Structure 1
C-alpha cells in the first residue's frame, strides 16, 4: 500500500477544502439578526454575502433559523467561525 501525502489538517477532517459548507444558526427573531451574524462570519469568510443566506421563522415567530453557505478554505477557518457564532449574543444554536 502506498502512503498518501496528507497534511496534518487533511487528517483531522473528512472535508476537502475548499468546499461549500452550510452553517445553520438559530437565534431570537430580531431585525438585525441576519446582518449581525453575517458580519461575524465575514471576519473569517469575507466573500460571504446576504445572497448566501436563507432564513426561516419558527412556527410562533419567536426564533429565526438561518442557513449560510460559505466557501470554507480550512478547518481552522470553520473553527473560528463556529467560535465567533457560538459566542455571539444573538445566537442560540449553531450546527
Structure 2
C-alpha cells in the first residue's frame, strides 16, 4: 500500500456529483445523460436542482453509487468538457 493513497474514499460508496451551469438550457438532462454513460443504474429521483437567486444559474446534484476513482474521473472529465457546464464538483 502506498503512503499517499490515491483517494480517501472507500468504494463502492454514495457520492454526490454537483454541477452548475446556465438555467433554462437543459442542464439537468445533460447531467443525467452523461452520468448514465458511466453508471449502470442512475436513479433520476436522486437528482435535485436549485436555481440561483437571480435565476441565471442552476445547480444540479445527482447522487450515485460510485464504484471506483477511475469511474468518477471519467464522469468529471466528460461533464467538464460539456459546453453547458460552468463547473463540476
Which residue number in structure 2 is paired with residue 53 of structure 1? 47
The Cα shift of 1:67 comes to 1.0
Contact 1:38 1:49 in 2 (8 A): no
In the alignment, is residue 34 of structure 1 matched against residue 28 of structure 2? yes
Q: Which runs of 5+ in 2 are unaligned?
A: none
TM-score after normalising by structure 2: 0.90
Count of residues paired in the alignment: 87
The Cα shift of 1:92 comes to 0.3
Greater Cα radius of gyration, structure 1 or 2:
1
The Cα shift of 1:71 comes to 0.7
| Greater Cα offset, 19-28 or 41-50 | 41-50
Counterpart Cα distance in 2 of 1:38 and 1:13: 24
* Runs of 4+ displaced beyond 4 Å: none
Which residue number in structure 2 is paired with residue 85 of structure 1? 79
